[in-house]
């Protein structure tokens, strides 16, 4: 059993009681809600006559259903309009802060909470969205929950949960040029599997993580859930504190000094005990891309689609299903695969540093004929900052569409959807069958730089070649 | 609240690893403010592609209430719409090799147990149901067993989840709300709720 890890410390600090079932009643320090998984929770509160005792600890925004081209109200999709109206009404009735479109603070929930300084080390954070693990980048224990649990948090600010085990996932060394945080997490999931993390929290560490900025750490923790781990985190350090200082909801003055001392104290101890430990070498990580229908079906951009006989028996049935669905043949190089749609955005890779890398590749190039390519900033703030730096102009000049903030094509609950069996190069997090809005649509997951490389060549391309980084 | 100790019903075999919640209920059906009506849309895209051959469309399995699946069932998105859709179709319990963690928690929260057992047992049970869809299965959480006329197999379930189901406290809301004093006391001790005070 783990001991002395950040996970243990934060868990203990937030334990309200041990329930008769043996599960922990855990206090939730920050609750984030959005339009998709909250309406039924509010309906349940009303049915049961329950109130919200800590309304200031819940923050709402709208992201999943929002169109990214025309956000004028009412939305063309009447169901989407009903959902945003329900959220507006629920937030008003229960006294919850709602960051509305046009407020300057709206965006994907996992982008706005960090950039506003709401997400802080040592917190417990819950949201009705599996990518809540993102917030672990700050040294918070953050996890996705279902709608009944959203109800529980609204009604009590607590959840009933069994404690997780802790696996230390260490990555050491310098990443080669053209290899990004996205490649690191796709590589980790490729090797630990999509269910390897079930029952675990992943503590990401090592010198590679230490050298990363907060946005890169968020990309890594974001996809912990794709490896089966409900939460992933990184111990807070000077990089974390520098990121937070001066943000809207970060502590200031005397409170800042108190916070620094406390945040440092909750990091895992030197002699912490883990339930498991795995180590990766950064130098061995290639630009990584998924070829199949789970995020664990990743390969280096120089590799071929795996041959069935080379896979462990347990992985063979899903590989066969993936060959058929993706229309790819075993042994076929992934490079050169034609793409129809290129998407940079999402809670995984829709932040300013992602857009800067994407723009670096797009600069002076043109989107290939027949390819639909678009860039969706993760929040209104990201959009504003990117425009201040002129990134939008780089993208527009290269033939990309420049959109407004939202979840967009990642899950296609809005007008951004694949058609038929279109294949997308996508900086998002899931390549599940039908994920991007068409039941036969196909998704190749990769870093934002690789998405742009695919957009300007019309096919899967090693971004290192475009940038003259061949080794 | 209702206790969940035994679940008796016909089984529905659904082979395949890593069946994610996007497949159980595609995102376009999440454009709703209630869970009503989700039962008709369960596995809608998989079913359309199977042209009537999907187990959920097989007449022999209509009325089944125990879903028998393989590894990592319910991985991916946290949408409770997935268990709600299965429940509304008629599923009252799942047996599998393993489950996505958020999915399993969401099932518990609506009183639907997700019990696990070995790949070998799953294969046997799926084959049994394929050869005789009328087989009646019984999941008993007391001895943690899955049984039919001719066999019993051991199954597993986390001790906390098992107690919540058996004692009828799987809807934790009332229990959680009832601890208001302790909750306030814990909040008072969390430094980040009181910076600078």
Provide the residue range defining the domain that includes B79. 6-170
User: Contact B102/A430, CB-based, under 8 Å?
Assistant: no
Q: Indicate the residue among A276, A306, A329 that finishes a domain.
A: A276
Rounded to 5°, angle at Cα A419 from A341 and A320: 85
User: Contact B101/A437, CB-based, under 8 Å?
Assistant: no
Structure confidence at residue A378 (pLDDT)? 98
Structure confidence at residue A469 (pLDDT)? 84
Q: Give pLDDT tens digits along chain A (471 positions).
A: 999 999 999 999 999 999 998 999 999 999 999 999 999 999 999 999 999 999 999 999 999 999 999 999 999 999 999 999 999 999 999 999 999 999 999 999 999 999 999 999 999 999 999 999 999 999 999 999 999 999 999 999 999 999 999 999 999 999 999 999 999 999 999 999 999 999 999 999 999 999 999 999 999 999 999 999 999 999 999 999 999 999 999 999 999 999 999 999 999 999 999 999 999 999 999 999 999 999 999 999 999 999 999 999 999 999 999 999 999 999 999 999 999 999 999 999 999 999 999 999 999 999 999 999 999 999 999 999 999 999 999 999 999 999 999 999 999 999 999 999 999 999 999 999 999 999 999 999 999 999 999 999 999 999 999 999 865
Residues in chain A: 471
Whether A214 and A68 share a structural domain: yes
Whether A266 and A295 share a structural domain: no
Q: Indicate the residue among A213, A245, A276 that finishes a domain.
A: A276
Q: How many CB pairs under 8 A join A and B?
A: 229
B12: distance to nearest CA of chain A, Å? 20
Whether A134 and A89 share a structural domain: yes
Q: Indicate the residue among A217, A246, A276 that finishes a domain.
A: A276
The pair phi, psi for residue B60, each rounded to 5°, is -65, -25
Is position B1 within any domain?
no
Is position B141 within any domain?
yes
Whether A256 and A125 share a structural domain: yes
Structure confidence at residue A134 (pLDDT)? 98
Q: For residue B36, which residues of chain A lie inside 8 Å, CB to CB?
A: none
Cβ proximity of A119 and A102 under 8 Å? no
CB burial of residue A78 (10 Å; 0-12, 13-18, 19+): exposed
User: Contact B33/A19, CB-based, under 8 Å?
Assistant: no
Q: For residue A80, which residues of chain B lie inside 8 Å, CB to CB?
A: 31
Partner B contacted by A114 (CB < 8 A): no
CB burial of residue B124 (10 Å; 0-12, 13-18, 19+): middle
Domain count, chain B: 1
- Can you list the positions of beta strands (E) in A291-422? 298-300, 341-344, 372-375, 401-402
Q: In what order do the strands lie in the sheet with A276-281?
A: A231-233, A200-205, A165-172, A276-281
Q: For residue A161, which residues of chain B lie inside 8 Å, CB to CB?
A: 105
Q: Which among A40, A122, A251 is the nearest to B34, CB-wise? A: A40
Average pLDDT over residues B178-188: 98
- Which residue of A lies nearest to B75 if distances are taken between CA atoms? A228
Whole-angstrom Cα distance, residue A33 to residue A388?
29
Is position A188 within any domain?
yes
B149: distance to nearest CA of chain A, Å? 30
- Which pLDDT band holds residue B9 (cuts at 50, 70, 90)? very high
Structure confidence at residue B197 (pLDDT)? 73
Is position B88 within any domain?
yes
Whether A260 and A380 share a structural domain: no
Structure confidence at residue B196 (pLDDT)? 74
Is position B137 within any domain?
yes
- Which residue of B lies nearest to A201 if distances are taken between CA atoms? B101
Interface with A, mutate which of B192, B193, B197 (most A CBs under 10 A): B192
B175: distance to nearest CA of chain A, Å? 8
Is position A442 within any domain?
yes
Is position B131 within any domain?
yes
User: Contact A160/B163, CB-based, under 8 Å?
Assistant: no
User: Contact A77/B161, CB-based, under 8 Å?
Assistant: no
Specify the CATH number for the domain of residue A220.
Answer: 3.30.499.10
Domain count, chain A: 2
Whole-angstrom Cα distance, residue B157 to residue A457?
51
Is position B194 within any domain?
no
Is position A282 within any domain?
no
Token digits of residue A407:
């979840």
Whether A43 and A169 share a structural domain: yes
Q: What is the dihedral of CA A203, A204, A210, A213, to 10 degrees?
A: -110
Interstrand relation of A288-290 and A276-281 (parallel, antiparallel or unpaired):
unpaired
Whether A299 and A194 share a structural domain: no
Whether A216 and A293 share a structural domain: no
Comparing CA positions, the residue from A362, A375, A365 lying closest to residue A406 is: A375
Is position B163 within any domain?
yes
Tokens 């950040």, residue located: A6
Structure confidence at residue B195 (pLDDT)? 87
Is position A242 within any domain?
yes
Is position B188 within any domain?
no
Whether A253 and A394 share a structural domain: no
Whether A252 and A361 share a structural domain: no
| ipTM score | 0.97
Provide the residue range defining the domain that includes A18. 6-276
Is position A425 within any domain?
yes
Q: Where are the alpha helices (DSSP H) in B4-64?
A: 21-24, 44-49
Partner B contacted by A144 (CB < 8 A): yes
Predicted TM-score (pTM) of this structure: 0.97
Whether A52 and A151 share a structural domain: yes
Whether A345 and A459 share a structural domain: yes
Specify the CATH number for the domain of residue B10.
Answer: 3.20.19.10
Is position A471 within any domain?
no
């Amino acid at each position: 059993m783990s001991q002395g890890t950040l996970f243990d410390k934060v868990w203990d600090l937030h334990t309200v009681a041990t329930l008769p079932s043996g599960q922990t009643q855990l206090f939730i320090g920050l609750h984030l809600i959005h339009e998709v998984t909250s309406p039924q929770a509010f309906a349940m509160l009303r049915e049961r006559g329950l109130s919200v005792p800590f309304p200031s600890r819940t923050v709402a925004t709208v992201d999943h259903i929002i169109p990214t081209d025309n956000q004028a109200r009412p939305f063309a999709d009447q169901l989407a309009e009903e959902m945003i109206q329900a959220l507006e009404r629920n937030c008003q009735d229960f006294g919850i802060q709602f960051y509305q479109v046009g407020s300057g603070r709206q965006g994907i929930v996992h982008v706005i909470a960090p950039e506003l300084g709401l997400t802080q080390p040592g917190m417990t954070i819950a949201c009705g969205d599996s990518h809540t693990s993102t917030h672990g980048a700050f040294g918070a224990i953050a996890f996705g929950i279902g709608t009944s649990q959203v109800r529980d948090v609204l009604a009590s600010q607590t959840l009933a949960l069994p404690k997780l085990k802790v696996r230390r996932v260490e990555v050491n060394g310098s990443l080669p040029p053209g290899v990004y945080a996205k490649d690191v997490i796709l590589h980790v999931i490729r090797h630990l599997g999509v269910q390897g993390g079930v029952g675990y929290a992943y503590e990401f560490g090592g010198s590679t993580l230490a050298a990363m900025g907060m946005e890169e750490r968020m990309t890594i923790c974001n996809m912990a859930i794709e490896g089966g781990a409900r939460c992933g985190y990184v111990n807070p350090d000077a990089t974390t504190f520098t990121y937070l200082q001066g943000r809207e909801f970060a502590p200031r003055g005397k409170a800042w000094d108190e916070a620094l001392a406390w945040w440092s104290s909750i990091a895992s101890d030197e002699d912490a005990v883990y339930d498991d430990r795995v180590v990766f070498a950064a130098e061995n990580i290639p630009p990584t891309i998924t070829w199949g229908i789970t995020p664990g079906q990743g390969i280096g951009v120089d590799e071929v689609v795996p041959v069935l006989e080379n896979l462990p028996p347990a992985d063979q049935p899903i590989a066969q299903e993936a060959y058929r669905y993706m229309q790819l043949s075993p042994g076929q190089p992934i490079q050169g695969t034609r793409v129809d749609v290129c998407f940079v955005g999402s809670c995984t890779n829709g932040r300013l540093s992602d857009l800067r890398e994407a723009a670096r590749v797009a600069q002076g190039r043109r989107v290939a004929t027949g390819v639909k390519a678009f860039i969706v900033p993760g929040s209104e703030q990201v959009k504003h900052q990117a425009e201040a730096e002129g990134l939008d102009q780089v993208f527009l000049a290269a033939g990309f569409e420049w959109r407004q903030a939202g979840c967009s094509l990642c899950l296609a609950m809005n007008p951004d959807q694949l058609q038929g069996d279109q294949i997308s190069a996508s900086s998002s997090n899931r390549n599940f069958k039908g994920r991007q809005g068409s039941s036969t649509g196909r998704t190749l997951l990769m870093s934002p730089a690789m998405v742009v490389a695919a957009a300007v060549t019309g096919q899967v391309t090693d971004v290192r070649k475009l940038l003259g980084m061949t080794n | 609240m209702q206790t969940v100790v035994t679940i008796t019903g016909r089984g529905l075999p659904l082979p395949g690893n890593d069946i994610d919640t996007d497949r159980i209920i595609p995102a376009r059906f999440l454009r709703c403010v209630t869970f009503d009506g989700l039962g008709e849309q369960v596995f809608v895209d998989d079913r359309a592609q199977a042209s009537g051959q999907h187990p959920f469309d097989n007449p022999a399995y209509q009325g089944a209430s125990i879903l028998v699946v393989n590894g990592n069932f319910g991985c991916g998105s946290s949408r409770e719409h997935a268990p709600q859709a299965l429940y509304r179709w008629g599923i009252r319990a799942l047996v599998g090799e393993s489950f996505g963690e958020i999915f399993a928690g969401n099932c518990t929260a609506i009183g639907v147990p997700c019990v696990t057992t070995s790949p070998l047992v799953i294969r046997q049970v799926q084959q049994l149901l394929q050869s005789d869809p009328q087989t009646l299965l019984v999941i008993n959480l007391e001895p943690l067993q899955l049984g039919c006329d001719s066999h019993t197999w051991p199954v597993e379930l986390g001790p906390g989840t098992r107690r919540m189901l058996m004692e009828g406290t799987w809807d934790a809301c009332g229990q959680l709300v009832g601890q208001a004093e302790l909750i306030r006391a814990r909040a008072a001790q969390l430094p980040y709720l009181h910076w600078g005070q």
